[in-house]
A and B are shown apart, each in its own frame.
Chain A
Amino acid sequence: MRGRGYRIQHTVTAALKITVLLVLASWVFAPFVSVVLWSVARKWYWPSLLPQELGLDYWYEALGLRRGYALTAAVGIIDALKTSIVIALIVTVITELISLPTAYALAKWRIPLKPLLVFLFLMPQAFPLQPVYVNLLLIFYRLGLAGAVPGVVIAHIIPCLVYAVWINAATFKSIPPDYEESARVHGAGPLTTFFRITLPLSAPGLIASSVFVFLYSFDEFTGTFFIGLPNVVTLPMLLYSASGYNMQFASAVAITLLIPSIIFMVVLERFLKSEYIAKIG
């Protein structure tokens, strides 16, 4: 029979597990709860733990449905959202187009000076990007790209390209060469093989990298700050400028910023999971 010692030990283990989960959950979710509360707080005077009065006023204001007392920002949330989405879409398309051939070559071919190339493609991840943006601003002043959307797009492409190349190269590498070789043996040319065999097989990986790039650009702060301001106001820029004078409005913007990443992550997780299951099943 199970002894008393065993029961006590079991209770202690269970209590420890629950404590671990609670501590971790409050650590992870408390700041999130805080920003959500701020975005719907109408009146919140200390020392109250929760707001005294709730309301969606700041959301109406933020969404431009109502002109309010706090709306001093030059750009509304809708305009900023549009700018952000347009930039992120352009960045995603250009980045994917540029990264595909490079990723393919890195994954499938023997390339001279490969270590050097690999190092170059790792640099933007390893070293701080800010000094690059600072000097890019200097260069873009002269070219008239500072404070303009194309300049911001270029700034975003730098880190995105590196991520896209690595993710896409890993995807191409994961496709067994047998598929391509048998297509070639059966008479398909290299381009036909790529478009009919390689590309469809790597679709999940390419979609994943596109989503990743889109979100990176959508959330990007530093590059836009140096290259884009004051003319190009994306959501992160709006959040930054609002957080200085209006906590509630800034909190509403912060939550808006989260929406696409959460949507994409949920969709992507589902998508990749079924893909994965299909592979082993």
Chain B
Amino acid sequence: MDRNSVKNSIKIFLMLIPSLTILLSVYLYPFILAILISVVDSSGRLTLEHYSYVFTVYAQDVVFTIAVCALSALVSLLISISIASYIRLSLDEGFRKILNWIFRFPLFIPMVVVAQMMRTFLAPHGFLNTLLAQIGFIELQEAPNLFDWRGLLIGFVWKQTPFMALIILSGFAMVSDVHIDAARVLGAGRLYIVRRILLPMARGSIAIAFALTFASNIGTFTLPYMIIGGAKPTTMTVIMAHRVTYFGDWSIANALGVISYAVVGLFSIAYLREAVRAGVYERERV
């Protein structure tokens, strides 16, 4: 190593040190601490008892969390693909502009406000049920209580769809017009173009959008905490909070935390691998 490259390394190190210090000390250390705490018992020995406790007492909630988050991401995916397809393929400029403006609105609403909106909107005698009763869809006396998986699903889908649609839209934008025109000339209608051209060509963006949304759903605390709270079944994030704030119990909380890491990690790896594979085709030739 000559003197110049030593100087360079020092320079890089100095530039990185502030942010690395922060991330390593208050992010990575507690991140690893979660794993450590989850496998150590009160006397400091290695144990899996916290995990077995989670799987006996909270198995239902773990499955519930994964199922609701995956289902929400899936519904968001379907809606956002429809929106993105409409915007990409519509020839009507005005329609495209209005659509483009409307669907983004929830992007600007923070999750805690979404939760409050849903609390007023989905309450037994809230806006939605009153609306449905007015049309004659339901009886207000026996209005359903939506503060369970349904409320969570609606909240997640409402908040996450625009973000997902933006990612998918940027994927669709990378499909050049001639690829679409070529299909139209050969006789393809809109649905066929979405199915055979847009979706396969934007596979990577779709995979990334789904993985990001799912991961974000799994890690969300606000919405389930304000909509479901302690009712059963609830999400891992809510239980984690209860274990810490009510019982001062970090072991079970961290076991749940590590499980949520694992779920997100496995999911991301599976999907990102697919995305990388799809990326081979997405690169435009010159």
The answer to whether residues A35 and B112 also contact, given A134-B250, A138-B250 and a CB cut-off of 8 A, is: no
On whether the beta carbons of A37 and B127 are closer than 8 Å, the reply is yes
Q: Chain B residues near A29 (CB, 8 Å)?
A: 105
Interface residue B111 (Cβ < 8 Å from any Cβ of A) = yes
On whether the beta carbons of A130 and B95 are closer than 8 Å, the reply is no
On whether the beta carbons of A221 and B130 are closer than 8 Å, the reply is no
Q: Chain B residues near A9 (CB, 8 Å)?
A: none
Interface residue A132 (Cβ < 8 Å from any Cβ of B) = yes
Q: Chain B residues near A262 (CB, 8 Å)?
A: 108
Interface residue B125 (Cβ < 8 Å from any Cβ of A) = yes
Among A21, A97, A127, chain B packs the most CB atoms within 10 A around the CB of A127
Query: In whole angstroms, what is the CA distance A222 to B226 when docked?
Result: 12
On whether the beta carbons of B250 and A126 are closer than 8 Å, the reply is no
- Closest chain A CB from B163 CB (angstroms): 12
Query: In whole angstroms, what is the CA distance A225 to B250 when docked?
Result: 16
The answer to whether residues A123 and B12 also contact, given A20-B99, A30-B128 and a CB cut-off of 8 A, is: no
Interface residue A89 (Cβ < 8 Å from any Cβ of B) = no
Interface residue B46 (Cβ < 8 Å from any Cβ of A) = no
Interface residue A175 (Cβ < 8 Å from any Cβ of B) = no
Query: In whole angstroms, what is the CA distance A128 to B218 when docked?
Result: 7
Q: What string of 1s and 0s marks CB contacts (under 8 Å) between A13-41 and chain B?
A: 00001001100110111111111011000
Interface residue B28 (Cβ < 8 Å from any Cβ of A) = yes
Query: In whole angstroms, what is the CA distance A112 to B33 when docked?
Result: 27
The answer to whether residues A34 and B112 also contact, given A102-B16, A135-B250 and a CB cut-off of 8 A, is: no
Q: Which of A54-62, A253-261, A272-280 contacts B (4 or more CB under 8 A)?
A: A253-261
- Closest chain B CB from A11 CB (angstroms): 14
Q: Which of B47-55, B171-179, B236-244, B277-285 contacts A (4 or more CB under 8 A)?
A: B236-244
On whether the beta carbons of B27 and A135 are closer than 8 Å, the reply is no
On whether the beta carbons of B121 and A34 are closer than 8 Å, the reply is yes
On whether the beta carbons of B117 and A219 are closer than 8 Å, the reply is no
Among B19, B26, B31, B92, chain A packs the most CB atoms within 10 A around the CB of B19
Within 8 A of A (CB), among B246-262: 250, 253-254, 256-258, 260-261
The answer to whether residues A101 and B15 also contact, given A46-B130, A221-B111, A247-B119 and a CB cut-off of 8 A, is: yes
Query: In whole angstroms, what is the CA distance A81 to B174 when docked?
Result: 42
Q: Chain B residues near A257 (CB, 8 Å)?
A: 110, 112-113
Within 8 A of A (CB), among B103-153: 103, 105-106, 108-121, 125-128, 130-131, 133-134, 140
- Closest chain B CB from A159 CB (angstroms): 9
Interface residue B158 (Cβ < 8 Å from any Cβ of A) = yes
A sample of 9 more A-B contacts (CB under 8 A), given A28-B158, A123-B27, A126-B264, is A30-B127, A31-B127, A49-B134, A104-B15, A127-B260, A127-B264, A130-B257, A132-B34, A136-B30
